[in-house]
Structure 1
Amino acid sequence: MNSNNPFLNNKTFSNAVSRRDEVHQATVIDQNQDMTLAGTINRSLILFLLLVASATVIWWATFNGMNPIIPAFGGAIVGLILVVIASFKPEASPYLAPGYALFEGLFIGGVSAIFEVQYPGIVTQAVGATFVTFGVCLALYKYQIVKVTEQFKSVVVAATLAIATYYLISWLFSLFTSFTPVHYGNSMMSIGISAFVIIIAALNLFLDFDRIEKGVEQKMPKYMEWYGAMGLIITLVWLYIEFLRLLSKLNKK
């Protein structure tokens, strides 16, 4: 089973290894062109800083009178397009990943500003919860307290696909009918669903860590550092948004 994150699936990483192995045996391979853990971490930090910078601009503009809906929606659409392109052309990740971070920052900044207006202080809480979750998952993975087995992958991927299917069906029904999805509002059922989704999003981090580690061990091409970093940011964005939703339900009167 693959990571649900389209950027960290086995097929893409296997293809990257295959392209590298196609190099003629007589060719001298520069080891500096291999994927490294340090390089992936550095790329992840760069993407994170770009995302925060873009989000800060929209945040500032929103609290100075601008409507964040259009840039947030536009950023989400362009970001999704870049994700799809990169999933088919991972070698273009060094160019697509920074663009994704910038446009996704527009989405994050706009959504965060909207939530902050309704629930002052919620963004700080969501950011803190996201970082704490990331740190805990990283520590659990690093010290092998949680091991990513094939069964673990199967359960996480199945649960993630179920969540995605549920969200899609609920959105379609609410769009064309008067149906109100059960995860709307602040009922105990709704809060429980949000908590469950956060757990699954956190578990996806373990799959991401594992796939990146395997990529380094298999000496994948250098551009896979950007690809792996981009996938990790995607998971963190999902986790942050889910924390915003859960905290908004808990703060709703």
Structure 2
Amino acid sequence: MNFNSKNPFLSDKRFSSNAVSKAEANGSQIIDYNQEMTLSGTINKTAILFLILCAGAMVTWWMAFNGMNPIIPSIGGAIVGFILVLVAAFKPHLSPYLAPGYALFEGLFIGGISAIFELRFPGIVLNAVGATLVTFLVCLGLYKFKIVKVTEQFKSVVIAATLAIATYYLISWLASLIFNFTPVHYGNGMMSIGISVFVIIIAALNLFLDFDQIERGVQERMPKFMEWFGAMGLMITLVWLYIEFLRLLSKIASKD
């Protein structure tokens, strides 16, 4: 069975030589390699999206610490961000416009939820940001120096685990709504903490898949807009990782 990155942005269907400019299709036109996806270009786009996300986060963060309720813009940001993700997944050529929008609205969500956690557990946001950054750098180093190799078996295990987590979260959420059921991962017991650690590990492993797919996109000379597409997909994984770190740290802090 051949699994690929669970991130819809970084699937083989999107990062395929078939996605190259139509101008190349008939073989009669010269290809402008300045309009191809590059690693440096993807890194630059990722940095831009990160700055936009931080700017959006500052808005709801400021609201929370100035007596205003950040819940509405946070929820709105999450909804709009999710919609933009879906649109970009089916129309990757619109990524140069959708990716900055996603970063901005997702920033509103991140800022609001971060402020809520910070008000309850002072210092938790800085620790979560640091943990996310360290995890990203470690994974990047392991991938760059080929210490971790992304094989088909590696992909299969990571994607299967990711889908299992998504299914578990969905079923738990529905059960809590219908049966007034409290999922085990909601508490601060050892089982809940163990689940959070497992989810963080899987989220981190997804970074390797993201790096691999971006590198393959560069090697296959994808169109320039795929830099935004790849950067947006990587940001999605980083946001997921950050939120999971927030949840883990909050569980640990609540036990004190």
Q: What letter matches 1:165 in structure 2?
A: T
> Could you say what the CA RMSD is over the residues aligned between the two structures, in angstroms?
1.1
> Which of 185, 188, 192 is the equivalent residue of 1:186?
188
Q: Give deviations 1:139-178, integer Å, cap 9, x for gaps.
A: 0000000000000000000000000000000000101221
For 2:45, give the aligned amino acid.
R
Contact 1:115-1:123 at 8 Å conserved across structures: yes
Give runs of ≥4 in structure 1 deviating > 4 Å.
18-22
- Give the drift of 1:199: 0.1
Which residue does the alignment assign to 1:54? 56
Q: Which runs of 5+ in 2 are unaligned?
A: none
Within 2, Cα distance between the matches of 1:83 and 1:232? 12
Please tell me the residue identity of whatever aligns with 1:64.
N
Shift of 1:28: 1.5
Alignment-derived partner of residue 213 in structure 1: 215
> How do 1:119-198 and structure 2 match up within 5 A?
119-198=121-200
Paired position in structure 1 for 2:252: 250
8 Å contact 2:19–2:223 — kept in the other structure? yes
What one-letter code is carried by the residue in structure 2 that aligns with 1:96? L
Give percent identity, aligned residues only.
73
Alignment partners' CA distance in 2, 1:78 and 1:172: 22
Residue number in structure 1 paired with 2:204? 202
Conserved? CA contact 1:20–1:220, under 8 Å: no
1:171-216 CA-to-partner distances (Å, cap 9, x unmatched) read 0010122111010110000000000000000000000000000000
Counterpart position of 1:230:
232
| CA distance in 2 between partners of 1:18 and 1:154 (Å) | 27
Where does 1:102-121 land on structure 2 (aligned, <5 Å)? 102-121=104-123
Q: How far apart are the structure 2 equivalents of 1:202 and 1:16?
A: 29
Amino acid at match of 1:187: G
Output the TM-score relative to the length of structure 2.
0.97
Q: Is the 8 A contact 1:62 1:113 kept in 2?
A: yes
Residue of structure 1 in register with 2:242 after alignment = 240
Contact 1:191 1:249 in 2 (8 A): yes
Q: Is the 8 A contact 1:34 1:219 kept in 2?
A: yes
Q: Figure out how many residues of one structure are paired with residues of the other and give that number.
A: 253
Give the AA of the match of 2:148.
Answer: V
Distance across 2 between alignment mates of 1:20 and 1:147: 33
**2:185 alignment partner, SS class:** coil
Correspondence list, 1:74-85, <5 A? 74-85=76-87
